[in-house]
Every structure is written in C-alpha cells, then in structure tokens.
Structure 1
Amino acid sequence: MKYKAAIVLAAAALAWPGSAAIPADAPVADEIPIALLVDISSGQVLYEREADRRFVPASVTKVMTAYTAFKLVDEGALRLDMPFLYSEEMEDEWYAEGSNMFLRAGERPTIAQLLLGITTVSGNDASVAIAMASTGSLEEWLELMNANARELGMRNTHFGSPNGFPDGGQTYTTANDLALLGQAITQQYPGLYRRFFGHRRLRWRDITQVNHDPVTGRVDGADGMKTGFTNEAGFTFIGSAERDNRRLVMILAGSPTGEARDESARQLLEWGFDGFERQVLLPEGALVGSALVQDGARSQVGLRLPQEFTIALPVDREETDWQVDIVYRGPIEAPITAGDPVARLRLVIDGEAVLETPLEATEDVAKANSWQRIANAFARWF
C-alpha cells in the first residue's frame, strides 16, 4: 500500500507559470522533435519534448564509451598512460571512416590520447581502439557499455557499437536515459570529465581538428559534451554547463539541420540559467515527519532529508499554492537501520508532481519481540 502525508509549511506560496512542471516557452526550434533540459543539481526537469521517445544517438554514443573508460580507470582496471598498438586491420576498417582521429597502423596512442580523440574530435577509430585496448574484443566492451546503462537505470537504451556508427538499429536511446548518463559522467567522475571534455581542438601528428560542440566556449559555464550526426539520426547533441553550483544537462535529437540544433542548444542552456532562480525549500538534515513500521520495536520511524531540497523557480511567474508530501510503500518492515532510504519527499504544484528526493530513517528500529508484536496487533485493531 502506498502511504502519503502532506507536510504543512509556513509561507507555502511559490510562483509558477501556467504549466507547473514544464514551462512551454523554452527556445527550442519547432522542427526538433526531441528535447530535454534537466537541472541535475536537484533532478528537476525544466523542459521536455518527447523525452521517452527512442532515437538513434549517432556519435552521442561515445559519451557512454567515455563513461565506461572512466569507470575502468577509477577502478584501476585501465591506466591512462597505457599505450595501445593500433593494428593494420583496424586502420583498414576505420581510417577516414566518418569522424576520425586518423590513427595509423603501428602507432601507439595512450588511453588518455584515445579519450581525447573520442571526446574532442569524435574519433570512430579511437572509440574502437579504446574498446580493444580495454577488453580485447568489441563484444566484451559492448557488454560493459550495456551493463553500465542498466546500472544507471537507462531502461530504454541499447548499444550495438562503441562509436554510434550505423548498425541496423541495434543502438538506440532516449533523452531521459541520456540525462541519466550526463548526470553520472559529470558527478561520478568530475576530475576525468574536466580533463577530457570541453577541449576546442586536437592535434594528432600533423592533423589539427576542431570540436563541433556548439556550446563550450560560447555559453558561460558550458564544458561539453558530444554532438552526433548520421542520415538516419539527424543532428543530435548532449550538452552540459555549470554556473553558481547549478549544473544543467540538455539533449536535442532528430534536428533536420546542424544550425537549428546548435542555436537551440545555446539558447536552451541560457534560458535554463537566466529564466530560473534556485530556492531551498528544506535544509539538509531537516526532520520532515515519520513513517509507519510493521513488526518493529517501534510503530513509527522518523524521516529526514539527507540533502537539501531545492527547486528552480521561473523568474517571471505568478503566485500559486504548493504542497510537499511524504510518500512511501508501507508500513515499512522492520528491521530498519538509521540512514536507510525508506521514503520520498514529493513536491506537488497545481496537482502535478514536480520533484522528488529520498528520505532516510533517523534511527534504528529492531524487529519486534513477541510481546511487542502482540501490542502492535492491539494498536492496529484499536
């Protein structure tokens, strides 16, 4: 059974324009079918258009390739200074095949150099090289990519290649899934993200290429991530920027032109920062209520916020009422350990759920002994 309790807070009047969760005036070109802007500092969706619609990501796939490499590096299974011997077979298959680092047989790029080739110039060859260097086979690398996608909750995503090259529809994703990936790569590996994303150009041998990222260096705080294009996918982009401890992640997909994608990407990020202001609703550690406990030494357990509960509010807004609810499936079965995530705090505006954050138990609750079970049974009966 799902339980819900409203929390009454003082001064519970927030401002919000017409649609509570998603304002409709974001500057995204009408011809772009898929768009999403998320404030990952709070998890709040600022704008969405067909965010659960599957599409072919093209070279945006390489963000998962970079994430998979970052994870291996963090675990100690891969070294950034490790060289990899690029083979004739790989050169024959991938030299000048789409976007390229232009690797040649016999060269020994390091893992760090391959990562820069992936994140800066979208090297199809570098993506395959890092897969082979890490696992020895594309099949094992793809298993890692797809396992990582499942672990991140990317339920509508599958990878059939390490670089997004056309593969007969094996590779697909959604904007909501890519937002999870964008959050993970920026928050779990911030040092590696800063080191390898956001570079404007790359020189390999005597070849200098520029990054096609439309926001880095053009939007204040923008630092990546990845464009993509195939005839099947159209023009795609996942981008991110951070200002004043607010990080936004945006996705555009299916644009008919690169110009529409690039302009919409820049305008959407600016709109997300300039059109909203951050407000703390409840501080970190706030005690917000309690939840019922089943077969426990106590009949209830306290609930607190492990992190502050914030929301991004549109600057130009009208007054409206709001409500904060405690939501959980319960009663929650004992035993419970302090710090266990046992419920959620939900912000509802105009009857629409806008934002949720976890709530944790404030104390341990042991399993009830025989006398406590009898007392609990009488309490429930009365």
Structure 2
Amino acid sequence: MTKAVFSLIARLALVLTLAAGAAVPVAAQRNPAPVTPELPPAASAPVAMLVDVSNGQVLHARNPQRRFVPASVTKVMTLYLAFELIAEGRLDPDRMMVMSPAVFRDWRRKGSNMFLNLGDQVLVRDLLMGIANVSANDGAAVLAEGFSGSVPAWTDAMNAKASAIGMTGSYFASPNGWPDEGRTFTTAADLVLLARTMIRQHPTLFRQYIGHPGFIYNGIAQVNHDPLTGRFPGADGIKTGFTNEAGFNYLGTARRGDQRLVMVLAGVPDGRTRAQLARRYMEWGFTAFERRPLYPRGAVIGEARVQNGAARKVALVPESAVAINLPQGHRAPLTATIDYDGPLKAPVMAGQEVAMLSITSPGMAPARIPLVAREDVALAGPLDRLVNGLAGWLPW
C-alpha cells in the first residue's frame, strides 16, 4: 500500500483555517446558525447509522457492526442483484416471468404482495416496481425463481454479490426477508455499503425503480410506506422492513445539492417512531455541520505511479466535487492523504477507481473519497520500457 501525503497539506490546512476564521463570524452576525434537532436516544433505535456517502463520512453510528434481522430490507439486495444483471445484459426488464405452482403455493398472499395468482405472467420491470415500492414478497420470489431456476439459487447469487462488494457481516437466506429464525442477518455498516454501491453503480435504475409513492398492478393500488419519500425534501426512499422477529427497520437516503446521506435504523419499537426518527436523523445530518468545499469535480488531487505502462504516472481526480462536513466552529487544520495499492499495474483505464483520498482532522469524522484515473495508461511498448528504465536511474 502506497500512502502519499499531500505536498501542499500545510497550505491546504492554512487556507481552510483562514477561510473558517474569516467567514464564520460574518455569517453568524447576519444569519444565526439554525437550531438543529438532537440525536434520538439509544433506547428508540438500538442500531442507527448516518453516513454522507458523497465523501464517506460517518456522521453518527450506534452499533454499526451489530448483526440484526433486516426483514423486508433484504429486498434491497434482491434489487441490487437485479440491477447488476440488467447492467450485464443478462436480465431484460421486458422479460416475462410466470407465477409457478411452487411460488404460488409458498407465497400467495403471504405478507405484503402484488396479489399475483397462479400462472400470472409478469414483466420483470413490474416485479421490480412491486418489490421496491410495495414490498412484494410474491414478486421477489417470482423474480428469483424466474431468473435462477429456484429461490435457493437466487439467494446463493445474492450472497456471492454481497461478498463481492464487501458486505462481510451479512447473509441472505431468502429474496424477501420473510422470518427464517435468524438465518438472514445484516449490519448497518453493510446496508450503507449496499446503498452506496447501488446508487453509485446504477443511478439510472435506482431513479427508475426506487422511491415512487406507490404502485398499481392489476387495478390494485398500493402506497409506499417509506417514511421519507414525499415527506422530506430530497428523499429517495429505499426500503422499510418489519416483522415481529426484527422490529421496525429502515434503509433510506436523501440528497440535497451534491450531498447524499444514507441512514439505517433497526429495532425501532413501532412504525410511527421509525418515521419520526428517520426525519430527525436526516434533518440533523443536513444541518448540524458546516459543509466546506475542497475541490471541484475533475481537479487533479495527486498522482499514482504506474508499473509497466506507457506513462510512469497517472493523474488522480475525484468523480464529483469534494466537500467535507465540519462540526460547527471547527478550526483544527486538515490533513489529506492518498492511499493506493501501488505501483498500479498497466493498463489503467480512464475513470477506473485506483486510489482513496482521506481527509482527517481532530474532532472530525474522517472523509474517504474515491479517486479515479484521469486518463488511460496503456501497456508499455519496447520504446516505453526503455525510456522508463532509463528514467528510473535519473534523480528526477
């Protein structure tokens, strides 16, 4: 692992400190800081996590690694797997799937559903809408069996995908989260990772299927019970969950400007409390910090060494503007580092995530922003290898 501390750290810290000292008193005189809601007590949400996924800052965490039963929040993993398959060209949203006798026997009218009947033919896009917005247990099972041939084969794919993206504290034994004596479990940290990955990798599919106020299928209208969608500015939803085994859970997100927050609540005693907590947490996350811009999108943050490439280095840039959340009145200097497994091995593709920008400061949650290669670096040809070999002996 190569760690490069910025050559301009001292200047960066000085600029931010001076900017804070100059701007904050003026702002305070003209616009007093808004009163922000307090964080809810631990008794109301034994598991809670709020993360700014635009920079990786954990704004609040309570038992983020504690395993819990996700209930219908499990369906987010089913949705992510489906999005991956669509992106790979292996699943067509216009494909028709059938409610088989086995799925009909096990899932007809079981919990929240799309009211599918034996032999019904359903478009994949309708199944995804039903799963995402009215928590259709029958729809999740039809999708699972229709693509993989069986529900267990689909859950095997869910677990493989979860492992691939780093969800180390999760296991899925069903596509919909129906009670299974605790065989299905997850953590708040894993769910934040899942939401961040899904939104980042599949933004179009996310907007297309998630966060609708409801869904009408076969003439039956149902509403989405997400506590933020339509009730909180910038909210996108994602998924609620409830069983007697799990309590009331929630994975939700909201965006304001270039800032996106993702929240997890688990083990909440009732639905009304869950809705209140969701709004309080989100409002606190958006208002309790001073948000400071550091770099515009595409700014060159640093360079990474490249092995056996046509170029010896590649410029590192963020995919979006870089900003951090500072506690109110924060004055401590910032330290920025770039971490990457290096040297990078050619070829390197433009837009490929190759490094991580970490920004730390005493009293501030660290921010970790992915950096991508600004340009392609092809494999070195004979002449490139000769030049690179000679350059390696030179002092510059």
CA-to-aligned-CA distance 1:211-252 (integer Å, 9 cap, x gap): 211110100111211110112211100111222232221111
Give the stretch that moved more between structures: 126-135 or 314-323.
314-323
**Matched ranges for 1:209-288 at <5 A:** 209-288=222-301
Q: Distance in 1 between matches of 2:360 and 2:340?
A: 15
| Distance in 1 (alpha carbons) for counterparts of 2:59 and 2:317 | 23
Instruction: State the distance in 1 between where 2:201 and 2:355 align.
Output: 24
User: 1:318: Cα distance to partner?
Assistant: 3.6
Asked if the contact 1:2–1:329 (Cα under 8 Å) also holds between the matched residues in 2, the reply is yes
Q: Aligned partners of 1:49, 1:245: CA distance in 2, in Å?
A: 25
Q: Can you list the C-alpha shifts for 1:301-324, whole angstroms capped at 9, x where unaligned?
A: 575334356234357334222222
1:345 to 334, 357, 366: 357
Q: Tell me the equivalent position of 1:44.
A: 57
TM-aligned CA distance change 1:293 to 1:145, over 3 Å = closer
Matches within 5 A, 1:182-201: 182-201=195-214
2:5 maps to which residue?
5
Measured after TM superposition, the shift of residue 26 of structure 1 is 5.0
* Structure 2 residues without counterparts, runs of 5 or longer: 22-35
Are residues 1:110 and 2:134 paired? no
Residues 80-229 of structure 1: pairs in structure 2 closer than 5 A: 80-205=93-218, 207-229=220-242
**Structure-2 residue corresponding to 1:20:** none
- How far apart, CA to CA, are the structure 2 residues paired with 1:30 and 1:66? 30
Report the TM-score, using the length of structure 2 for normalisation. 0.80
CA contact under 8 A between 1:29 and 1:264: conserved in structure 2?
Answer: no
Unaligned runs of 5+ in 1: 17-23
1:148 deviates by 1.6
Contact 2:54 2:369 in 1 (8 A): no
Q: By how many angstroms is 1:177 displaced?
A: 1.1
1:288-307 to structure 2, matched below 5 A, reads: 288=301, 301=313, 304-307=316-319
1:320 and 2:332 aligned? yes
Whether the aligned pair in 1 keeps the contact of 2:77 and 2:194 (CA below 8 Å) is yes
Equivalent residue, structure 2, for 1:58: 71
> For residues 181 and 95 of structure 2, what CA distance do their matches in structure 1 show?
33
Alpha-carbon contact 1:51-1:174 (below 8 Å) kept:
yes
Q: Retained in 2: the 8 A contact 1:42–1:309?
A: no
CA RMSD between the two structures: 3.4
Shift of 1:153: 1.6
Using the TM superposition, name which of 318-327 and 106-115 deviates more. Answer: 318-327
Whether the 8 Å contact between 1:201 and 1:211 is mirrored in structure 2 is yes
Q: Output the amino acid matched with 1:47.
A: H
Q: Which whole-Å deviations, capped at 9, do the CAs of 1:308-359 have from their partners, x for residues lacking one? A: 56234357334222222344566x3776858676653321111766012345
Match of 1:79 among 92, 95, 100: 92
Does 254-263 or 3-12 show the bigger shift? Answer: 3-12
C-alpha separation in 1, matches of 2:208 and 2:388: 60
In structure 1, what is the Cα distance between the partners aligned to 2:235 and 2:39?
17
Other structure's SS at 2:121 match: coil
Give the distance between the partners of 2:308 and 2:80, measured in 1 at CA.
Answer: 43
Q: 1:136 to 1:3 in 2, by over 3 A?
A: closer
TM-score (norm. length: structure 1): 0.83
Identity %: 42
Return the structure number with greater helix share: 2
Q: Distance in 2 between matches of 1:296 and 1:100?
A: 54
Q: Residue type matched to 1:203 in 2?
A: I
From 342, 367, 379, give the equivalent of 1:355: 367
Partner SS state of residue 148, structure 1: helix
CA-CA distance at 1:368 after TM superposition: 7.2
